[in-house]
């Protein structure tokens, strides 16, 4: 698992090999941005026990620690510990100051404390809009899993075209039957894709009535920070993922969203995995120019 250096003065420099990692004489590792006054502080240690501080510029505070390089390791357990600590610091800031603008793991600004304050000032219009717009809103992740997926035979029984292909296969010579079986496989794949799309569209519409934004994710979990931190090593009961969604919602609407998901979970054979509230990683603005939307964790 690799990480990207996020130099907010320019484009990110992807880390491929340790020998290629650019040196940072002085930098500030960024956890998140919050609304804070000049006396704001957090009593928490950051990654590798580094002391965390809050650098405030006219009401906007950056939660940081001083650093001289990026956090990159081939040891996945070490990277997971860094990820968890990154998230723990942001959670503490969230508890104290409200919804933050979170940075992805390994986001680093070159320079000293004064450089951070200058950067905040330069991004002030964007940061003010984001902090106001995201106030009391959080990100939630939803995964709907069919724990006992419908088998091919059941799908064939429900689809006229599949039944027609099966009948032709039974009545055909070997060569023709082989081609028809390929068509059958393609049709089965399309039927399964349509089922997933229908389930996703239906749930998106229902959740959109309570959430501010709803977006579909890839069915296979990506290595996002929330996925990594939420993964406790339990893969559940397996099954087929029908859809994965991320949504931005006001904290007062969490109960209504939970009720919608309870209805879905009451359907035989379906399991709903619901995590959050998370800081709004997916919905935070891009900062510092092209390519600074956050590093892959």
Q: What is the pLDDT of residue 191?
A: 73
The full length of the chain comes to: 297
Peptide bond into 277 cis (omega under 30): yes
Instruction: Output the pTM of the full model.
Output: 0.73
Helix and strand numbers (H, E) in the chain are: 8, 11
Among 217, 228, 222, CA closest to 87: 228
Among 127, 13, 10, 5, CA closest to 62: 127
Kindly tell me if the per-residue pLDDT of 190 is higher than 90: no
C-alpha to C-alpha distance for 295 and 70, rounded to whole angstroms: 11
CA distances from 49 to 93, 104, 107, 127, 194 (A): 16, 19, 17, 28, 49
C-alpha to C-alpha distance for 295 and 99, rounded to whole angstroms: 20
Least confident residue range of 1-5, 140-144, 161-165: 1-5
Percent of the chain, pLDDT > 90? 51
Torsion region of 98: left, alpha or beta (phi above 0 gives left; psi -120 to 50 gives alpha): left
Q: What is the pLDDT of residue 204?
A: 84
3-state secondary structure of 98: coil
Average pLDDT over residues 260-281: 89
C-alpha to C-alpha distance for 25 and 223, rounded to whole angstroms: 29
Q: What is the pLDDT of residue 223?
A: 42
More confident: 68 or 4: 68
What is the distance of C-alpha 179 from the center of its chain?
41
Q: What is the pLDDT of residue 148?
A: 65
Q: What is the pLDDT of residue 42?
A: 93
Q: Name the pLDDT band for 166 (thresholds 50, 70, 90).
A: confident
Structure tokens, 283: 């919905």
Q: Are 270 and 145 in contact (CB under 8 A)?
A: yes
Q: Name the pLDDT band for 248 (thresholds 50, 70, 90).
A: very high
Least confident residue range of 66-75, 179-188, 242-251: 179-188
Least confident residue range of 209-218, 254-263, 266-275, 282-291: 282-291
Structure tokens, 189: 């794949």
List all residues 6 or more positions away from 230 whose beta carbon is below 8 Å from its beta carbon: 141, 275
């Amino acid at each position: 698992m690799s990480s990207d250096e996020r130099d907010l003065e320019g484009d990110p420099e992807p880390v491929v090999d340790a020998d290629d990692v650019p040196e940072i004489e002085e930098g500030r590792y960024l956890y998140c941005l919050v609304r804070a006054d000049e006396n704001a502080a957090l009593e928490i240690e950051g990654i590798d026990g580094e002391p965390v501080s809050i650098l405030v510029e006219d009401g906007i505070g950056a939660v940081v620690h001083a650093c001289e390089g990026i956090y990159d390791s081939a040891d996945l357990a070490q990277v997971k510990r860094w990820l968890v600590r990154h998230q723990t610091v942001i959670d503490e800031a969230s508890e104290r100051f409200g919804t933050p603008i979170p940075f992805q793991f390994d986001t680093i600004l070159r320079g000293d404390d004064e450089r951070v304050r200058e950067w905040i000032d330069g991004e002030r219009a964007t940061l003010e809009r984001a902090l106001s717009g995201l106030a009391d809103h959080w990100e939630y992740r939803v995964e709907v899993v069919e724990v006992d997926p419908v088998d091919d035979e059941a799908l064939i029984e429900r689809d006229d075209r599949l039944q027609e292909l099966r009948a032709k296969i039974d009545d055909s010579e070997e060569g023709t039957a082989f081609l028809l079986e390929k068509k059958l496989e393609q049709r089965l794949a399309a039927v399964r894709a349509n089922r997933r799309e229908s389930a996703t569209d239906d749930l998106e519409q229902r959740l959109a009535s309570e959430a501010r934004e709803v977006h579909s994710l890839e069915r296979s979990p990506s290595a996002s920070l929330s996925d990594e931190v939420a993964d406790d090593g339990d893969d559940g009961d397996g099954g087929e993922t029908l859809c994965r969604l991320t949504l931005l919602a006001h904290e007062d609407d969490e109960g209504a969203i939970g009720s919608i998901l309870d209805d879905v979970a009451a359907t035989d054979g379906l399991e709903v995995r619901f995590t959050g509230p998370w800081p709004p990683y997916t919905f935070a603005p891009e900062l510092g120019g092209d390519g600074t939307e956050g590093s892959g964790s």
